[in-house]
Amino acid sequence: MYFTDQFRKSFKRVCQQQSKNSVINVLERLANGWRPRGRSVELVCENSSKILKQFKVESRCIICSIEIVKDSRCHVQVLKMWDIVRLEDIPQLVKSLDSEFRKYTDEYIVFCKENGFDG
């Protein structure tokens, strides 16, 4: 997993310790391979909707994308955690991320969406 600075700032703004623990629990589950079905962000955006995911945690959502990063030996898929936002703030975040995702090639997005399993 990769955490953006915005995600870190948003996590610090979560006031209640119980809410922070809930976020950490979801992150741990994601790190261990848990992927609920049907949790893609379904908004009107051509690029980001292809690789952007949302995971509901209490009254907020963790917004992340599947990215490819170069390791010392190979390329690996990671979850890039963008932000923790309220449901009503998702469209604004997606709109801002869409400009970032426009830089991605179709081939890159296909690699991001590909499911691979080790072991």
Cα-Cα-Cα-Cα dihedral sign, residues 57, 62, 65, 69:
negative
Q: Which amino acid is at 1?
A: M
pTM, to two decimals: 0.81
Each residue of 82-110: pLDDT tens digit? 999 998 998 889 888 888 888 888 888 88
Q: How many CB atoms lie within 10 A of CB 92?
A: 10
Domain 2-113 has CATH 3.30.70.580: no
Q: Environment class of residue 21 by beta-carbon count within 10 Å: exposed (0-12), middle (13-18) or buried (19+)?
A: exposed
Dist. CA 53–CA 35, nearest whole Å: 10
pLDDT at 39: 57
- Flag residues of the chain having pLDDT under 70: 38-50, 116-119
